[in-house]
A and B are shown apart, each in its own frame.
Chain A
Amino acid sequence: MTERPIVELTEITKIYEGKVMHRALNLLSFEAMEGEFVAIMGPSGSGKTTLLNLISSIDLPTYGQIIIDGIEPEKLPENKLALFRRHNLGFIFQEINLLNTLTVEENIVLPLTLDGFSLEEMERRLGNLSERLDLAEILDKRPDELSGGQAQRTAIGRALVHQPKIILADEPTGNLDSKSAKDVLELLSEVNETMRTTIVMVTHDPIAASYCDRVLFIKDGAFFNEIYKDERRQTFFQRILNVLSLLGGHSHELSSVRLP
């Protein structure tokens, strides 16, 4: 693993103005190295999704600096920003968000058609991906004919087809049964290992987080803790649970926490 940070957030603050002012992130700094698989965890409302939106440049911070792959998205004009997103980032959502009117293969090549790729190139990439993601048999199906796991694999295919440097995943296993979730996570870590794609994943699920290299915990928009993976996934999982139990409770309850 090279030690070059590909995502750099420095003292990010995000305030939502409105009838009630809401400080979603407060002086949070975060880095992800090239080829790293990072999970971001935290209770509901802790600012996980805001953080992900900031990295994906569909939202801009109130204060602080964001650098992604050496580029400051904030300084790009609107159109360039969209293209930057399209070429450098891949997205995976909890709601999967496939376009219902398109078949699996069409959903996957959609980002390429927008860029006017040649048909041969599109078919080549589609062939590669469908083999790797085990999609070959369902290429002609529509999203509503797919199981949850198949749909999420399709979405991963769509995120990967541009060969992005970073994949941003928002609760990718949130709507899946445990078997499909396991498949998807194994697929993501395989992609991470073989293609050296950086993955930043927001999740609630400690099992999902245990597939990562590192887990960042945030609470109320600020840094809370950070742990790195160790030899065995099982022990890493236990340590994640430990932090979570601290994270979930209030300070006066801390003493009563008993680890299983």
Chain B
Amino acid sequence: MNFRQFAYRNVVRNRRIYAAFFMASVFSVMVFFLYSMLLFHPSIEDRFVQEIAIIGMGVAEIVLYIFTLFFLFYSMRAFLQARSKEFGILLHLGMKKGQLNRLIFIETMLIGIAAIGIGTALGFTFSKFFLMVVREVVSLPALPLYLSWKPFVLTISAFLSLFTIISYIAPVFIRTGKVVDLLRGDGNEKGNYGYSKLRGYVGLFFLGLSYAMAAFTSNSTVISLFIFLPPLATIGTYYFFTDSVPLILHSLRKQRWLFWRRYRLFTISEGIVWLRENARMFFIVTIVSTLAFMSVGTLASLTSFASQYREMNPLGLVYISEESNRFEQAHIVELLTELEEEELDYELTVFTILRQRSSFSGGLVDILRQSDVNMLAHTLGYPPLHLEKGKALFLPPSISSYKSLNARVVNTVLEESEVAIRIDGAYPHQLFAANSVGTNAIVLNDADFELALVRDKSESANLYRYYAFHIPEWQKTKEIGVAIDASLTETFIKGNSNSLPYSFDNPGLNYSIIRTTFSLLLLTGLLLAVVFFLAAGSFIYFRLYTRLDQDRKQFDILRRLGLTDREFKKIVNQQLIPQFFFPWGVAMLHSSFAFLSLQVIWDALAEISIVKELVIVLTGFTMMQLFYFYLIRWRYLAHIRTPR
């Protein structure tokens, strides 16, 4: 048996302990590879989507890399410390420190290379499926499987470097002081039950403060909270786990009537020790889960933003033409032909908009004719309106502005035509795409409109023609007006955006871009969250495993004292449940409050509610966590019942 064989056998025979560690590594390699597959995909031609894909996946890969580094770091340390007895024996037998380091290096690299190999292979196996899912979610026409060396090279080199770093650093974790200490193993790290009362109170105070601030966020404070809250909550969480919870548990311990009851005596005191040993892990798990919840929740709410897009854009297509527009006829014919070709139903309403200056505000006002508006309202299924002479109504540019506009009464004179009008209230429905008419739009009755038009003193009346296409299947308009859109984009890119005498708006196309972007981001976020989630679970599994011998001994004592199997299970439950659900519950609470303050932003932006999406996301995570809990409890019970 040479040295390498020895290392190899060490790994293979410790496979139970390495299993969780190995699985989490494999999984993150796999996800990394899948991201890379998308990152380098040749057929994402849509430039915009491609950019989003590259940015999203790139960020995700970096996050994944850093996170995996931390994860491996932490588990490696715990793992090596658990094996200190074994290292003690080796040193006792006369192994040199350098040899020990080499042993650990070889072992880590073995696991690393195996994880990279299996992870990449699994990733490649699933990539067809993954690309299919992405295609569905993003609604791209096709996203075929492709073969390229790039994703392989990126994944393998990234993780090879990662494992090399870990392998070099890992030996530092073995506290090679005295061989005797190592031989005695992990069991001698007792006696330190210290916590600081001050820090405990500070932790509670910080958390309470950040919750309160998040709950009472208002529009004006939200930005400063963004800078202020995260560090406050993070520090609060840290102290909460290291000091506040021990503080609470210790004071609980003094209450005999509470504490000396059934299994509590055992589970609470064990819990205190658990917490002391794992406070930092709990902290990391909490923060990571909070981030995962937050990102998924935010992305889900973006998706809900997309679903409410329709309300803000009631029209299928909008073409606005100035009077000087030579292309008007050609463009309209083009649009109509394209609509026919795509076999899309449509109703076209054409109306004229007059732009004049208001004496009241000094700004420009877009004026519409009542009969035009009624025609459009009829198409969209809204009630018609009847204005008296000299009266006008505001046409709200967005739903949110309706309330404030409806309450306003303005007496003004249109300067160009000297027509005096009284604007009283607003039309309650949104007829145009948000902001496609000027923000300052009113509707006059037909007589007033004609008057304003005829009396216009300027050289040429400021007239627009507005082509409103009402298309029931509005999401299918992606291919309509592409040429017109391109001509607009071209001018826009050249920098003279106002030079063209027409504008064109295709909500269907915009919607597909928004939807694609959001769903792609959501998918990325979800995958990341799953990695975090798996890693958090394997942290716990891992700590359980390193303590298994100790726990087994303890339960052996308890069994001799006459613990029934049911009681045993109850105790295990009482010990495992907090480990799984406590950090995670705190994370839930954190993200709930974070969303409370986020809701304020959403209210301001688009008045949508993100409650539904959040409930779905949080329930989903709860289900996964429950599943994970039962899985790990099952393994733990099986291991602890079989004596070595």
- Where the two chains meet, the residues of A that have a C-beta atom closer than 8 Å to any C-beta of B are 56, 58, 78-79, 82-87, 89, 91, 97, 99-102, 106, 109-111, 113-114, 116, 119, 122-123, 142, 144-145, 158
Contacts and interface: CB of A to CB of B under 8 A. Distances in A.
A109 B566 contact: no
A119 B561 contact: no
- List the 10 closest A-B pairs by CB distance, nearest first: A86-B562, A85-B562, A82-B564, A101-B269, A79-B564, A113-B265, A97-B557, A82-B562, A101-B273, A144-B190
B264 interface: yes
A144 B553 CA distance: 16
Contacts of B557: 97, 99
B561 A101 contact: no
Contacts of A144: 190-191
Interface string B251-275: 0000011001111111001101100
A109 B260 contact: yes
Contacts of A111: 561-562
Contacts of A113: 260-266
Nearest to B273: A101
B15 interface: no
Given A58-B560, A106-B269, A114-B562, 16 more contacts: A79-B564, A79-B565, A82-B559, A86-B561, A89-B562, A97-B557, A100-B273, A102-B265, A106-B260, A106-B265, A110-B561, A113-B262, A113-B263, A114-B563, A119-B256, A119-B257
B563 A82 contact: yes
A101 B270 contact: yes
Nearest to B260: A113
Contacts of A114: 262-263, 561-563, 567
Contacts of A86: 561-563
A102 B269 contact: yes
Given A91-B561, A110-B266, A119-B257, A101 B272 contact: yes
Given A56-B560, A113-B265, A82 B272 contact: no
A232 to B, nearest CB: 36
Contacts of A100: 190, 273
Nearest to A53: B560
A114 B563 CA distance: 8
Nearest to A123: B256
A79 B562 contact: no
Contact of B562 (A83, A102, A122, A123): A83
Contacts of A123: 256
A84 B564 CA distance: 10
A102 B561 contact: no
A91 to B, nearest CB: 5
Contact of A119 (B260, B262, B269, B559): B260
23 contacts: A58-B560, A82-B562, A83-B564, A85-B560, A85-B561, A85-B562, A86-B561, A87-B562, A99-B266, A99-B269, A99-B554, A99-B557, A101-B269, A101-B273, A102-B265, A102-B266, A111-B561, A113-B262, A113-B264, A114-B567, A116-B261, A119-B256, A144-B190
A18 B65 CA distance: 48
Nearest to B566: A79
Interface string B49-93: 000000000000000000000000000000000000000000000
Contacts of A97: 553, 557
Contacts of A83: 562, 564
A20 B565 CA distance: 30
Nearest to A102: B269
Contacts of A89: 562
Contacts of B265: 102, 106, 109-110, 113
